[in-house]
Amino acid sequence: MITAEAKDKLLDLHNRYVECLDENRLEEWPKLFLEDGLYRILSRENEEANLTAYWMYFNHQRLMRDRIVALRKATVFNIHRNRHVTGNVRITESGDGQFDMKSNFVLVQTDVEGNSELSIAGVYRDKVVFENGEPKFRERTVVADTFNPPRILAVPV
Amino acid sequence: MITAEAKDKLLDLHNRYVECLDENRLEEWPKLFLEDGLYRILSRENEEANLTAYWMYFNHQRLMRDRIVALRKATVFNIHRNRHVTGNVRITESGDGQFDMKSNFVLVQTDVEGNSELSIAGVYRDKVVFENGEPKFRERTVVADTFNPPRILAVPV
Amino acid sequence: MITAEAKDKLLDLHNRYVECLDENRLEEWPKLFLEDGLYRILSRENEEANLTAYWMYFNHQRLMRDRIVALRKATVFNIHRNRHVTGNVRITESGDGQFDMKSNFVLVQTDVEGNSELSIAGVYRDKVVFENGEPKFRERTVVADTFNPPRILAVPV
């Protein structure tokens, strides 16, 4: 039985995640994970085929921070704005104080001309634990249905 | 006054519905309905004109199971993956132990090349009752705004 | 600490807003605001540049009603149906009995031929207060990522 308070905190973590990406406050993104947390993106096709061809794979906050620094200073990629709409959040307790969370999403990207398009659709699969009373991602896996997105993905999803 | 527990169970029913379709566990889908439950899809245009031209109409679990068997064994249709994102869930109690639920949705389909596109957008309108403590759809009506979807709909929405 | 009851009422206000627009019951829309409530739409690009070039700006229910009368009787615009899917609702209390609410959205428009397309994506930013026990928008600001939508926006978003 998940308490209403725990549920609110988990939803809040999920919403802050989306908010910092959509508002381009990328520096806040690694802090939502445990220090040795795992973030990865793979396509649904590869997952179903048991292929571990990840689009992104960071298993430490340090690597996540590196990516953000690279995005800010070095990487050349199409400038765009992101907007996630997520729904169907399901939370279950998996023992050992870990919560499993799943949610569906669409990511809409808008280019510098103001045109928006569906970038990718998929599902978040999370393992969340509490550290000093605050929920943190032990793992967030993004499974992307779309494996041929209209533009290359540089920024975390 | 709807209890928090009843509300959680209704949302869970809705989320399991989406999950079994999106994860291609179609055999679980009929079980979310009463044995003589009703599932139907119609276009918003036809509904507004009071035309009962349904895209799908199953008024028994048996007919739903038939459709799934046909999809698995016989029907030829474009292979794709589905992803629903739903929101704006509204629940009201309508007496006699029945709950009315509405939610907006977009359905994104991804083809075998990995390209995603908006398939249809619309609204779910549900009548839900509890059977042995578990919520079941007495009726789920899908009203599709989109009546000219890019691909034919074979799988339940 | 926001009570569960207050939260439910705020979500209900948000959902009724979406519902009356999507169901074309536009006359109900102004009543969701305080009499001197503010509704405005601007692009994210303009907001980030601190430009106050609003697509719509109504700072009184009377002006909102005027717009609806104009839409019903005078304005020529492409006929379409609207469907919002919203998610990631965040509510915070900001003192003086005011609640701040944010939510992401996509708006899908369907034309008379039944073709649907993504119209705009963006975020709602709201200030909500209670008047006689009922929540009302003191302000709803729509920030549209999409500033080059496929069709002109005539109807409130």
pLDDT in tens, B135-152: 999 999 999 999 999 988
Distance CA A49, CA B144 (A): 33
**C4-23: per-residue pLDDT in tens?**
899 999 999 999 999 999 99
Average pLDDT across chain A, whole number: 95
Tell me: pLDDT of C136 over 80: yes
Cβ–Cβ gap B84/A86 under 8 Å = no
Tell me: pLDDT of C62 over 90: yes
Mention every residue, 6+ apart, whose C-beta is less than 8 A from residue B15.
Answer: A88, A89, A90
Query: Which residue has tokens 């939610």?
Result: B103
A143 token code pair: 């499974």
Picking from A12, A18, A21, A110 by the largest number of C CB atoms within 10 A of its own CB, the best residue to mutate is A110
User: Average pLDDT of C111-134?
Assistant: 96
* C16-25: long-range pairs with CB below 8 Å, 24+: C17/C137, C17/C140, C18/B88, C18/B104, C18/C84, C18/C86, C19/B88, C19/B90, C19/B102, C21/C82, C21/C84, C21/C155, C21/C156, C21/C157, C22/B104, C22/B123, C22/C81, C22/C82, C22/C83, C22/C84, C24/C81, C24/C82
Q: What is the CA radius of gyration of chain B?
A: 15
DSSP C118-129: EEEEEEEEEEEE
Distance CA C99, CA C92 (A): 6
Distance CA A86, CA A124 (A): 9
Interchain CB contact of B121 with A (< 8 Å): no
* Residues A11/A89, Cβ–Cβ less than 8 Å: yes
How much is the pLDDT for B39?
Answer: 98
How much is the pLDDT for C77?
Answer: 72
User: Average pLDDT of B22-34?
Assistant: 97
Chain B residues with beta carbon closer than 8 angstroms to that of C108? 106, 118, 121, 145
Average pLDDT across chain B, whole number: 95
User: Average pLDDT of C133-154?
Assistant: 94
Picking from A102, A145, A147, A152 by the largest number of B CB atoms within 10 A of its own CB, the best residue to mutate is A145
Chain A residues with beta carbon closer than 8 angstroms to that of C85? 85, 87
Distance CA A78, CA A61 (A): 25
Q: Which residue of C has its CA nearest to A113?
A: C148
How much is the pLDDT for B79?
Answer: 86
A1 token code pair: 């039985």
Query: Which residue has tokens 């975020």?
Result: C123
Mention every residue, 6+ apart, whose C-beta is less than 8 A from residue C96.
Answer: none
Closest Cβ opposite residue A116 in set C87, C88, C145: C145
Q: In chain A, pLDDT over 90 holds for what percent of residues?
A: 89
Mention every residue, 6+ apart, whose C-beta is less than 8 A from residue C48.
Answer: none
Chains linked to C by 3 or more Cβ pairs within 8 Å: A, B
Secondary structure of residue A139 in the 3-state scheme: strand
How much is the pLDDT for C101?
Answer: 98
Closest Cβ opposite residue B87 in set A87, A90, A145: A87
Interchain CB contact of B49 with C (< 8 Å): no
Mention every residue, 6+ apart, whose C-beta is less than 8 A from residue B84.
Answer: A87, A88, A104, B18, B21, B22, B105, B106, B107, B108, B157
Q: Kindly report which listed range (A57-71, B13-27, B130-144, C142-156) carries the lowest average pLDDT score.
A: C142-156
Tell me: pLDDT of A77 over 80: no
DSSP code of B153? -
How much is the pLDDT for A24?
Answer: 95
Cβ–Cβ gap A83/C90 under 8 Å = no
How much is the pLDDT for B21?
Answer: 98
How much is the pLDDT for A52?
Answer: 86
CA atoms within 13 A on the CB side of B20: 15
Residue A132 pLDDT class (50, 70, 90 cuts): very high
Average pLDDT across chain C, whole number: 95
Chain A residues with beta carbon closer than 8 angstroms to that of C149? 116
Tell me: pLDDT of A126 over 80: yes
How much is the pLDDT for C8?
Answer: 94
Closest Cβ opposite residue C85 in set B4, B87, B147: B87
**A7-26: per-residue pLDDT in tens?**
999 999 999 999 999 999 99
Tell me: pLDDT of A114 over 90: yes
* Residues C48/C121, Cβ–Cβ less than 8 Å: no
Tell me: pLDDT of B77 over 90: no
Minimal C-alpha gap between A51 and chain C (Å): 31
